[in-house]
Structure 1
Amino acid sequence: MLERMWPGGGAKRVVWKVFLDQLFAAPATISVFYVGLSVLEGRQDPFEDWREKFWTSYKTGVVYWSTMQAVNFSLVPPVARTVFVGGITLIWTVFLCHLRQQRGKAHTDVSSD
């Protein structure tokens, strides 16, 4: 969508697209990931993981996605961008899954009771 709204790859345009991506897409997708999976798992509080891990995920994502999207918008030809983003999204999803599996202080082991 960003490429259609602001085609081209000059430095100013790339910075603008990366900024908009981090401002709107990043919080939305991270939120959908944590809340959506919690709902699908039937957790009592679907926002628990989101509250515990959103900011860590967002800060990490700002660094990761800003770098990857800058490469994407400036070096990757438009015809190959979907494949490139698919690959870096796989890496990002593995990171989020790993982070989600890390248990915070709010989680307890029910088998030890």
Structure 2
Amino acid sequence: MLQKVGKRFLVRARFTWRSLFDDQFLLVTNTLTGGSLLAMGDVVQQSWEIHKEQSKVLDWKRIGYTFVMGCSTGPLLHHWYGRLDSAYAGRAMNTVVKKVLADQLIISPIIGIWYFIGMGLMEGDTLAEGWKDFKGKFWEYYKADCCVWPPVQMFNFYYVSPKYRVMYINVISLGWDVFLSYLKHRVSQPHRRLKRHFASRIVLLIV
């Protein structure tokens, strides 16, 4: 009896999983997974902040904002990968390299701008303040991006089926989402030339 129930559950779960990636539901799946995992990354980062400073509590508004930002990048990536696969069809190595370069040079900076300015606007910053924040952190963001994403995307474009591309990126990016949350909400340290531990003490005293 238990075996039959287990088999029925697995069949239903398999059917449900496949239906999530049907053409009519794929955009919704990509959108909601993007929002959920970006929010999860922020929860992880906030948990670390609370661990370091126990007077803090989870900022649910911030989590909500990251969910909105993740949902907004879902459709962007959904259509971007569709266009990229149409422009560069096949899995030849030179084709894969072209996709990785296009992804790195075009969509990565766009997502960075979208994230920093979008989060800033929702958190009460002006457009100019959001742009200034992005410019101040751009090279740190982009250098890390260039270290992480090219090998991830090589695997994506060579092995992963097109309908699973965004899901793959969303899952892999959970660690990256923690970094984004850290970078966006990091307290600026004006005394960067000082030794790290001494600078940290100054910042704590100021706060």
Q: Same fold (TM over 0.5)?
A: yes
TM-superposed CA distance for 1:10, in Å, is 1.1
- 1:8-87 aligned at under 5 Å gives the runs 8-44=90-126, 45-87=129-171
Q: What secondary structure is seen at the aligned counterpart in 1 of 2:148?
A: helix
Q: What secondary structure is seen at the aligned counterpart in 1 of 2:188?
A: coil
Supply the AA of the counterpart residue of 2:104.
Answer: Q
The CA distance in 1 between the partners of 2:163 and 2:115, in whole Å, is 27
Structure 1: which 5+ runs fail to align?
none
Q: Is the Cα contact below 8 Å between 1:52 and 1:104 reproduced in 2? A: no
The CA distance in 2 between the partners of 1:96 and 1:102, in whole Å, is 10
TM-superposed CA distance for 1:71, in Å, is 0.8
Q: What secondary structure is seen at the aligned counterpart in 2 of 1:104?
A: coil
Which aligned segments of 4 or more residues in structure 1 are displaced greater than 6 angstroms?
Answer: none
Deviations 1:20-49 (A, max 9, x none): 111110111101111111111112522232
TM-superposed CA distance for 1:70, in Å, is 0.5
Q: Which shows bigger deviation, 83-92 or 12-21?
A: 83-92
- Which residue does 1:100 correspond to in 2? 184
Supply the AA of the counterpart residue of 2:154.
Answer: A
The CA distance in 2 between the partners of 1:42 and 1:79, in whole Å, is 36
Calculate percent identity across the aligned residue pairs: 30
TM-superposed CA distance for 1:98, in Å, is 1.4
Structure 2: which 5+ runs fail to align?
1-82, 191-202
Q: What secondary structure is seen at the aligned counterpart in 2 of 1:47?
A: helix
When Rg is computed on C-alpha atoms for both structures, the one with the higher figure is 2
Deviations 1:51-81 (A, max 9, x none): 2211111111112111111010112233432
Length, aligned pairs only: 109
Give the TM-score normalised by structure 1: 0.83
The CA distance in 1 between the partners of 2:130 and 2:170, in whole Å, is 27
